[in-house]
Amino acid sequence: MARLAFIIAAATLLCVVGCSKDLPQVVPQEEMEKVFEEVKTPFKRGLVIPGRDGLAADSPSVFHKDGKWYMVYIIFDGRGYETWLAESVDLLEWKTLGRIMSYSEDSDWDVNQKAGYLALVDPKWGGSYELEKYDGKYWMSYLGGDASGYESGVLSPGMAYTTGNPTEPHEWSRLDKPIISPKDPDASWWDNVKIYKNSVIRDPRNLTGHPFVMYYNAKGNAERIGMAVSDNMVSWKRLGSDPVLEHGNRGITGDAHVQRIGKLWVMFYFGFNWDNTRTYAWDSFACSYDLVHWTDWTGEPLIKPSEPFDNRYAHKPCMVKWKGTVYHFYCAVNQDDNRGIALATSKEL
């Protein structure tokens, strides 16, 4: 029976990987336009978590639990990044609850940088947005580093987890080393300097041959987005030696946030200074059938600088569709370099 179970499992894996190869690699323009119409958010409400007292708020990620909404976001205070938690009943008004990853002295690699991003949020567009457990734990990937200052030194992705209540502020546990690093022997031409934000989804179809998929942006010269995969959320390996989304040798393509809209996977991300014609930062998206081959949207940005609170950068998207309304959380930076988390919506609220 054990041998039969192994044969069935192996056959299933081959079928899934083979089926993913049969999926189209390019998304038609008419499908891209449908996605744009579905996700666009032209109505800006303003800051929902402003930077304050010299602190910069950044990189929102949102989940839903027990009738309330929660946002994990990061704070930069000059020393480095810490990760905080906020709460809302309506996605509009937010109250900060406390830290969930703080500076520490008990690590040789992430003492001064712990910028967390929720992992395994239900990826269905308009779905539950609940955190999924794996191995009895909630998970959060993060940007870690030991140097102080703004994204200084070697930066690598780490993995944190908790068996406690993710809606209550408490320190999450962390693995004792990075899950991948720019210093790895298999680091490539595009991710061998720094690795920045990382975003982890669970793929029930195993399109890559693995259930857990991480997208991360990294620097060689420019910043590009690539991917890694895992079978257990602890051991990770790069998938391929090239990025999956890039825009040449300038600027930034970064901060992927992935959801599934119908048969399409949609990667929301931000761009900056690709060709010297747009020196601001803006949010856009790309689409895929197989999680590996991505078709980029070439039309209008989902959001771009326009208001006093975001007239320098409007970037780093976290998207939620709830009860017919799209909520687009993003990092807003103005000309005075004040940085906070803002909200735009698909309709006026």
Tell me the per-residue pLDDT of 108-124, one tens digit each, with 9 for 90 and over: 899 999 999 999 999 99
CATH superfamily of 2-345: Glycosyl hydrolase domain; family 43 (2.115.10.20)
337 alpha-carbon distance from chain centroid: 23
The residues spanned by each domain of the chain are 2-345
> CA 249, CA 252: separation in Å to the nearest integer?
9
Strand pairing of 194-202 and 173-174?
A: unpaired
Residue 107 has what pLDDT? 81
Instruction: Please name the helix (run of DSSP H) or strand (run of DSSP E) that holds residue 37, with its range, or none.
Output: helix 29-39
Residue 63 has what pLDDT? 98
- Nearest CA among 236, 241, 216 for reference residue 227: 216
Q: What's the mean pLDDT in 172-183?
A: 97
Percentage, residues of the chain above pLDDT 90: 88
Count CB neighbours of 342 within 10 A: 24
- Nearest CA among 129, 249, 132 for reference residue 189: 249
0.85 cut: is pTM over it? Answer: yes
Q: Which residue has the higher pLDDT, 70 or 2?
A: 70
Q: Tell me what the pLDDT averaged over the chain comes to.
A: 93
pLDDT bracket for residue 331 (50, 70, 90): very high
Q: Which runs of E-coded beta strand occur in 35-180?
A: 43-49, 56-65, 68-76, 81-88, 95-101, 113-118, 138-145, 156-162, 173-174
